[in-house]
C-alpha cells in the first residue's frame, strides 16, 4: 500500500511540476509580448517626441470625444502652445477611412515639403484622423517625426436635422471644429492650411502659400487664400502666375488666420461647414484669393459627397507644374481698389458677345452678360462649367463676374445691370478702413 501511495504522490508531484512549467512558459511568453508592445510604443513615442520637441508641444496622441458644441475648448488641448516665431502655418491633412488616398497625399505632401529644408520650420505638418479606422493611425505614425498625428474620436450619435440627412456631414463639421480648436485655441498657430486626404500638391504649393500669408497679413478685406479654382479645367486656364479675388469661398486646400477663426468659432455649424462659410452673413463682404491654375488636384472620386461633380469637372482640373518664384511676383494688382478698377476697365473695353458659341471666334477680352440665375445657368452649361450658386454667388466669381480663358480669349461672364454699381462701390470703400459688412 505504501508503495502505491508513494507512486500516486510522485505522479501528482510530476503533474504539478509540469503544470508549473507550462504556467511559467506561458507567463514568459506573455512577458515577451508585453515587452515587444512596450518597445513598439516607446519607438512611436520617441518619434513623436522628437517631432514634438521641435514644435514645442506634447508628443501624446490627441484623442477627444466631441459632439455638437458641448465640449469646452480646454478639454480638447493635447499640448502646450507652439513656439511659432518663424512658423508661417500649420498644414493639416484631414483623414477618415481612405487609406490608399491618404498614402498618395502623404507622398505628395512630403515630396513638395522637402524641396526646401526651410519648410520644416515654416510649415509644420499634421494628419488629423477622425475615428479609429484600422491602418490610418499606423500610416500616419509611420511618418513621424516628419508628420505629427492627432486623432478626433467621434461621438457615437450625431443628431441630424432630418432623418434622411447623411450623418457624415455632421461628423466632418465636428472634426473641422476640433482641428481649429487644437491649432488655434490650444497651440496658437497664426495660420492653418487645411487639406483633404485626396489631394496632390503643385510643385510651388508652399511658396504660393508663403506669399499668400503676407497678403492675409496686410489686407483685412481677405477671407482666405485658396489653392483651388472651380473652373480650373485644362482648357479654361493658361497663366500659372495669375491670381484672382473671389467672393466665393473655394475650400479644397485653403489658408485661414487665427483671428478669422476667433470670429467664427462661436457660430460654427453642426453640419455643411463649407456652405456655411459661403453665406453672406458669415463672409461679410470679405474675399478669397484663388489661382487661375490650381495648386491642388483632387483625385477623390469616392467620399462623403459620392463623387459629386468628379467625372464631369474635377478630374479635368489642371494642376500647376511650373515652379513660380512667388517672392518676385508683383501681386499689387490684388489690392481691393486696384483689382476693382482693373476688372471695371476690362468690362468696359471687352467685346460684347450675344451667344456662348461665339467665344471661340474671337481673341482678346470678350464678355457675355446674364440677367439672373436662370440665364447664368444656361451660359455656364453651354461653356461646360459648374453652374451652381451659393447664397447668390456663382462659383469663382467676383461681384458676379466669372473669368475664364479659352483658346486666345479671356471670357467674362458678367451680370447686368448691377456689375458697374457693385465695382464702383468696392472702389469707394477701398479708400476707407475696412469694416466687415454685408455685400
Which residues are catalytically annotated?
Answer: 274
Chain-centroid distance, C-alpha 393? 21
> Which residue's entry shows cell 481673341?
363
The Cα 224–Cα 282 span in angstroms is 13
Among the listed residues 133, 134, 17, 126, the one whose alpha carbon sits nearest the alpha carbon of residue 79: 126
Among the listed residues 49, 52, 79, the one whose alpha carbon sits nearest the alpha carbon of residue 64: 79
Residues 6+ away with beta carbon under 8 Å from 389: 373, 376, 395
**Exposed/middle/buried for residue 215 (C-beta within 10 Å: 0-12, 13-18, 19+):** middle
The Cα 343–Cα 352 span in angstroms is 15
Alpha helices (H) in 58-204, listed in sequence order: 73-76, 99-113, 119-122, 136-141, 168-180
SS3 of 199, please? strand
Q: Where are the beta strands (DSSP E) in 155-292?
A: 191-196, 199-201, 222-226, 243-246, 254-257, 287-291
The Cα 118–Cα 91 span in angstroms is 15
Angle at 160 between CA 154 and CA 166, to 5 degrees: 75
Dihedral, CA atoms, 403, 406, 410, 412, nearest 10 degrees? -40
Cis ω before 151 (30° cut-off from 0): no
> Which residue's entry shows cell 432630418?
162
Among the listed residues 229, 270, 232, 231, the one whose alpha carbon sits nearest the alpha carbon of residue 250: 229
Residue 320 DSSP class: P
* Pairing state between β 364-370 and 351-353: parallel
Chain-centroid distance, C-alpha 284? 21
Among the listed residues 396, 64, 418, the one whose alpha carbon sits nearest the alpha carbon of residue 232: 396
For residue 397 the three cell numbers come to: 466669381
Q: What is the C-alpha R_g of the chain?
A: 28
Q: How far is the first Cα of the chain from the last one, in angstroms, to the nearest whole number?
A: 108
Amino acid at each position: 500500500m505504501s508503495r502505491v501511495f508513494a507512486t500516486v504522490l510522485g505522479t501528482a508531484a510530476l503533474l504539478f511540476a509540469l503544470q508549473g512549467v507550462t504556467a511559467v512558459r506561458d507567463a514568459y511568453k506573455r512577458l515577451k509580448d508585453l515587452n515587444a508592445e512596450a518597445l513598439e510604443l516607446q519607438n512611436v513615442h520617441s518619434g513623436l517626441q522628437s517631432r514634438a520637441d521641435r514644435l514645442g508641444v506634447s508628443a501624446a496622441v490627441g484623442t477627444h470625444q466631441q459632439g455638437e458644441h458641448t465640449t469646452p475648448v480646454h478639454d480638447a488641448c493635447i499640448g502646450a502652445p507652439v513656439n511659432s516665431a518663424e512658423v508661417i502655418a500649420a498644414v493639416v491633412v484631414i483623414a477618415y477611412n481612405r487609406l490608399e488616398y491618404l498614402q498618395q497625399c502623404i507622398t505628395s505632401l512630403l515630396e513638395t515639403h522637402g524641396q526646401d529644408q526651410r519648410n520644416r520650420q515654416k510649415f509644420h505638418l499634421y494628419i488629423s484622423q477622425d475615428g479609429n479606422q484600422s491602418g490610418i493611425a499606423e500610416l500616419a505614425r509611420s511618418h513621424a517625426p516628419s508628420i505629427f498625428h492627432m486623432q478626433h474620436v467621434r461621438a457615437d450619435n450625431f443628431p441630424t436635422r432630418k432623418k434622411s440627412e447623411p450623418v457624415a456631414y455632421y461628423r466632418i463639421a465636428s472634426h473641422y471644429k476640433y482641428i481649429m480648436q487644437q491649432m488655434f485655441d490650444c497651440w496658437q498657430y497664426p495660420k492653418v492650411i487645411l487639406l483633404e486626404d485626396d489631394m496632390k500638391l503643385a510643385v510651388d504649393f508652399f511658396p504660393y502659400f508663403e506669399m499668400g500669408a503676407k497678403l492675409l497679413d496686410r489686407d483685412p478685406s481677405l477671407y482666405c487664400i485658396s489653392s483651388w479654382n472651380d473652373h480650373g479645367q485644362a482648357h479654361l486656364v493658361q497663366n500659372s502666375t495669375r491670381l484672382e479675388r473671389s467672393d466665393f469661398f473655394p475650400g479644397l486646400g485653403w489658408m485661414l488666420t487665427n483671428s478669422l477663426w476667433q470670429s467664427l468659432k462661436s457660430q460654427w455649424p453642426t453640419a455643411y461647414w463649407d456652405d456655411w462659410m459661403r453665406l453672406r452673413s458669415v463672409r461679410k463682404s470679405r474675399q478669397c484669393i484663388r489661382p487661375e491654375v490650381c495648386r491642388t488636384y483632387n483625385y477623390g472620386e469616392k467620399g462623403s459627397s459620392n463623387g459629386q461633380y468628379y467625372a464631369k469637372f474635377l478630374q479635368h482640373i489642371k494642376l500647376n507644374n511650373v515652379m513660380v518664384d512667388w517672392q518676385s511676383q508683383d501681386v499689387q494688382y490684388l489690392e481691393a481698389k486696384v483689382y476693382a478698377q482693373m476688372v471695371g476697365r476690362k468690362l468696359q473695353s471687352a467685346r460684347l458677345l450675344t451667344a456662348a458659341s461665339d467665344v471661340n471666334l474671337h481673341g482678346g477680352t470678350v464678355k457675355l452678360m446674364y440677367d439672373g440665375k436662370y440665364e447664368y445657368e444656361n451660359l455656364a452649361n453651354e461653356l461646360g462649367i459648374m453652374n451652381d450658386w451659393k447664397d447668390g454667388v456663382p462659383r469663382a466669381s467676383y461681384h458676379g463676374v466669372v473669368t475664364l480663358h479659352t483658346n486666345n480669349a479671356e471670357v467674362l461672364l458678367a451680370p447686368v445691370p448691377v456689375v458697374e454699381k457693385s465695382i464702383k462701390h468696392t472702389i469707394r470703400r477701398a479708400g476707407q478702413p475696412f469694416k466687415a459688412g454685408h455685400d
